[in-house]
Amino acid sequence: MRVEGIKEVAVTAKERVEKVLRGGHAEKVPFTIYESKIPQCEAERMMRNQGLCILCRTSVFRVHLPEVKVTQYSWEENGRKRIRTLYETPVGTLSSVEEPAGFTSWHLKWLFEKPEDYKPLLFMIQNERYEPAYEEVLEKEKMMGGDGLFRAGIGSEPLQQLISRYMGTETFCYEWMERRDEVLKLYQAIAEQRRKVYPIVARSPLLHANYGGNVVPEIIGLENFEKYYVPHYQEAAEIMHRHGKLLGSHFDANCRLLAEAISRTDLDYIEAFTPAPDTDLTLAEARKAWPDKVLWLNFPSSLHLKSDEEVEKATVELLNELESVDGLIMGITEDIPPHRWPGSCQAIMAGLERHSREHPSLYR
Residue 53 contacts residue 14 (beta carbons within 8 Å): yes
Q: Is 121 inside any structural domain?
A: no
Among 359, 362, 276, which Cα is nearest to 327's? 362
Kindly state whether residues 323 and 200 are assigned to the same domain: yes
pLDDT value at residue 105: 82
Kindly state whether residues 204 and 241 are assigned to the same domain: yes
Kindly state whether residues 42 and 77 are assigned to the same domain: no
Q: Is 117 inside any structural domain?
A: no
Q: Is 119 inside any structural domain?
A: no
- Give 249-278 pLDDT, tens digit per residue: 999 999 999 999 999 999 999 999 999 999
Q: What are phi and psi of 152, to 5 degrees?
A: -85, 165
With a cut of 50, say whether residue 351 has pLDDT above it.
yes
**Average pLDDT, integer, range 230-259:** 98
Q: Is 55 inside any structural domain?
A: yes
The Cα-based distances of 39 to 43, 45, 50, 102, 351 in angstroms read 9, 10, 16, 12, 22
Kindly state whether residues 214 and 331 are assigned to the same domain: yes
With a cut of 90, say whether residue 354 has pLDDT above it.
yes
Kindly state whether residues 235 and 302 are assigned to the same domain: yes
Determine the straight-line distance between the first and last CA of the chain, rounded to whole angstroms: 12
Please, which pLDDT band fits residue 151 given cuts at 50, 70 and 90? very high
Cα(66)–Cα(175) distance, integer angstroms: 28
**Average pLDDT, integer, range 156-179:** 97
How many domains in the chain? 2
Q: Is 210 inside any structural domain?
A: yes
pLDDT value at residue 45: 94
Q: Which of 100-114, 147-161, 164-178, 205-219 has the lowest mean pLDDT?
A: 100-114
pLDDT value at residue 101: 82
Kindly state whether residues 178 and 84 are assigned to the same domain: no
Summary mean pLDDT of the chain? 95
- Give 81-102 pLDDT, tens digit per residue: 999 999 999 999 999 999 988 7
Please, which pLDDT band fits residue 8 given cuts at 50, 70 and 90? very low
What residues contact residue 212 under an 8 Å CB cut-off, 6+ apart? 154, 155, 156, 157, 160, 161, 229, 249, 250
Residue 275 contacts residue 282 (beta carbons within 8 Å): yes
- Give 270-323 pLDDT, tens digit per residue: 999 999 999 999 999 999 999 999 999 999 999 999 999 999 999 999 999 999
Instruction: Extract long-range pairs of 303-307: CB within 8 Å, 24+ residues apart.
Output: 303/277, 303/344, 304/336, 304/337, 304/340, 304/341, 304/344, 305/337, 305/340
Q: Is 309 inside any structural domain?
A: yes
pLDDT value at residue 326: 96
pLDDT value at residue 10: 77
Domain boundaries, position 72: 66-112
Q: What CATH number does residue 341 fall under?
A: 3.20.20.210
Kindly state whether residues 24 and 80 are assigned to the same domain: no
Q: Is 209 inside any structural domain?
A: yes
Kindly state whether residues 220 and 299 are assigned to the same domain: yes
- Give 100-130 pLDDT, tens digit per residue: 887 678 999 999 999 999 999 999 999 999 9
Kindly state whether residues 77 and 171 are assigned to the same domain: no
DSSP H stretches of helix in 114-179: 118-127, 134-144, 158-161, 169-178
With a cut of 70, say whether residue 207 has pLDDT above it.
yes
Kindly state whether residues 82 and 192 are assigned to the same domain: no
Kindly state whether residues 206 and 136 are assigned to the same domain: yes
With a cut of 80, say whether residue 181 has pLDDT above it.
yes
Domain termination residue (choose one: 112, 137, 171): 112
pLDDT value at residue 103: 67
Q: Is 37 inside any structural domain?
A: yes
**Average pLDDT, integer, range 216-227:** 97
pLDDT value at residue 297: 98
Kindly state whether residues 57 and 76 are assigned to the same domain: no
Domain termination residue (choose one: 47, 82, 112): 112
Domain termination residue (choose one: 112, 140, 170): 112
pLDDT value at residue 5: 44
